[in-house]
Each structure stands twice: as C-alpha cells, then as structure tokens.
Structure 1
Amino acid sequence: MKKYIKEQIKKSFEIKQTIYENENLINKIEEVSKLCVALYRGDKKTILAGNGGSAADAQHIAAELVGRYGFDRPSIPSLALTTDTSCLTAIGNDYGYDNVFSRQLEGMGQAGDIFIGISTSGNSKNIINAFISAKKKGITTVALVGRDGGEMAKMADVALVVPSDSTPRIQESHILIGHIICDIIEKEIFGDGVN
C-alpha cells in the first residue's frame, strides 16, 4: 500500500512539474491574475461555478477571496454560484440543470465582472451555457479545465488547460492555480505586489 501511496504522490508531482514547465499556461495564469486585479480595482467581482469537485473548488476560491488567503485585509468580492440550494433547485426545476448557472449570471453578473467556469472535461453544458450568458452581458470568461480543454476552452476569453487526462490530478492542479491567483490578487491589491 505504501508503494501505491507514493505512486499517487509522484503522479501529483509530475503534473505540477508539467505545469511548471509550460510557459504558455504560466503566461495565462499571469493574464488571469492581472485581469482579476484590474477588475477589483474597478469595483467588480469574480463569479465562479463548477460541478461536483469543481463546485467545491469554486466555493473554495471564492472563500479565499471574500475571507482571506494569506493575511488580513479587506474582503474581495467573489461569488460561487454553487452555494444557494434554493436557486439551484428552483432554476433546475423550472429551467433545467443546464441553466442553473446561466440564469444566476443573468441576474447577478455585471459587465466588467469575470466568470471562472471550472470543469475537468471542459464540456459541462451548464458552464457552457453560463459562458454564453456571460458574453451577452460583457463578462470576461475564464475556463479552468483539463484534458484538451473541451468546448469551454474554445469559448473562453482565457483558457487555463491542465494538460492531464486524470480527473484527480486536474482537480489538484485547479486548486493550485486558484491559490496562485488568490495569492497574486491579495498581494497586488493589499500587499507589496508580486515580481
């Protein structure tokens, strides 16, 4: 069993090494970080959504921004569309599950906001529909995806594609990328910045 455990840890290291060496992905993480910093300086917000483990990631990232990531500072506006069970179930019942995020974006999203859709496959229909709604409202879209990026990567203004076919490794990498973005936002707005 110890060998298996070590193999899993090694696989996690390997995908992170791949990300570390991927200059294109590093540049896109920097781009998203800069977009977020600019939007917060412009009194806008990030909105996130995903399904299953990606829903948990959306909530986690939003919580790091609203609460704190590394140090005490004023709250940063961020919203996960995965937390309001009344909205999710009402919209799912009345409009179908494929519209649970797009309908919320219609009501809460504003031009200048950023919507970060999280999906390991990049093909989650409810996130794709949310991208369509976001674009209609002038909301910047970011796909945080895996595998080949799927439809979401094609639709997004910026696609952060984790180069892996393993759902657990993609999810681990998504939270790493989310943490890096939170760290940069916090330090750029309230700290000494990041070099």
Structure 2
Amino acid sequence: MHDRITRHFSDSIDAKIRAADTLPPHIAEASELMVQSLLNEGKILACGNGGSAGDAQHFVSELLNRYERERPALPALSLCADSLTISSIASDSSYNEVFSKQIRALGQQGDILLTISTTGNCPNIVQAIQAAHDRDIQIIALTGKDGGDMARLLHPEDVEIRVPSAIPPRIQEVHTVVIHCLCDLIDEYLFSGE
C-alpha cells in the first residue's frame, strides 16, 4: 500500500512538471483576458461536471471572496452551483442545456466563460461554448487528453489550457494548480499596487 500511495505522489509530480513546461504562456494569456473582462465591468462564468464542477466553484469562490490577499470581491458566477436551476433545466429540457440556458440568460458580451473538463467531450460543456460564442463571450477551456470536442469548437481568440496527460486524476490535479495560478495573476494585475 505504501508503494501505491508513493506512486500517486510521484505521478502527480511528474504531471505537474510536464505541465510547467508547456502551460505558462496559455495561463498568462487566460489571466490577461480575465483581467480585461473584469476591468471592463465583465464577469467570469464557470462550469464543469463532477470534480470539474467543484473546480469551477472553487475558482469562483476565490474571486468572490479572496485568494491570498484581502481585496474587493470580483464578479464571478458558478453555473454548476444552483441545484434547483440545474435540476429544473435537466427535467424540463435536457441535461445538455443546464449551462447553455444560464449563459443565454446571464452572459453578456465582454464576459468570460471558464469551462473545465478532463476529457473535453461533455455535451453540456459543448453547448455552453456554443451559447457563449452566440453572445460574443470568450472561452477559457481547461482540458486534458486531446482537448476533445471542446478544443475543436474554440475560436482563435479563445484560450485552451490543455494538460499534457490522459489520466483524469492527474489532469484534475493540474487543473487545481492552474486555477490557483489564474487567481494569483488576476490579483497581481489588479491589486499589486495596494
């Protein structure tokens, strides 16, 4: 058991080292898009399924409350946190529309949609991207593996942060680091002079 546990730590470290070699330019670009949106009175919408829904809520909570420094709250909304809305849409329409309907109601030009998926193939995330594009909302996509259907839908002005791994737990672990990097960079851009 000890060896198995140690292997999890080693595999996680290896995935993060590979990601550190390739992801920094994409993370920097994504943070700049988010900062510009926030400076222009936009907001960040976030969505994912399962563990990725937890990651989306984690990111939003860091913006609304704080990351490492005390600062004003930043406008962000998790599209996967409202169980009543999600179950209503899923029951009356389709689970594939649980995010796209919210984007059509709440998203505005100049907002950013953060989508999180280890596979990139979730139909409700695909529809969320399509709805966001219809409203001139840029996408920041956290993916893994080959990027899946999400990667194929992205426009040139969108940003994909694709973890160089095919193993979902390793992808999720790197997604957490990426989320913390985004929070740190946003705070640095907006509040470093305070």
User: How far apart in 1 are the matches of 2:10 and 2:182?
Assistant: 24
Report what 1:40 is aligned to.
Answer: 38
Deviations 1:136-191 (A, max 9, x none): 00100111111000010121221110011111000011111011001110111012
Report what 2:128 is aligned to.
Answer: 130
Matches within 5 A, 1:18-33: 18-22=18-22, 25-33=23-31
* TM-score (ref. length: structure 2): 0.96
Report what 2:179 is aligned to.
Answer: 178
Unaligned runs of at least 5 residues, structure 1: none
Aligned residues: 191
Aligned residue among 112, 123, 130 for 1:114? 112
Deviations 1:8-50 (A, max 9, x none): 100000011001111xx22111100100111111111110000
Report what 1:79 is aligned to.
Answer: 77
Q: CA deviation at 1:192?
A: 4.0
Matches within 5 A, 1:57-96: 57-96=55-94
User: How far apart in 2 are the matches of 1:152 and 1:142?
Assistant: 10
- Partner SS, residue 116 of structure 1: strand
Report what 2:17 is aligned to.
Answer: 17
Q: What's the Cα RMSD here?
A: 1.0
User: How far apart in 2 are the matches of 1:142 and 1:151?
Assistant: 14
Q: CA deviation at 1:92?
A: 0.6
1:188 paired to 2:186: no
Aligned residue among 75, 94, 97 for 2:95? 97
Percent sequence identity is 40
Report what 1:152 is aligned to.
Answer: 150
Q: CA deviation at 1:2?
A: 1.5
Structure 1 consecutive aligned stretches of length 4 or more whose deviation exceeds 6 Å = none
* TM-score (ref. length: structure 1): 0.96
- Partner SS, residue 165 of structure 1: coil
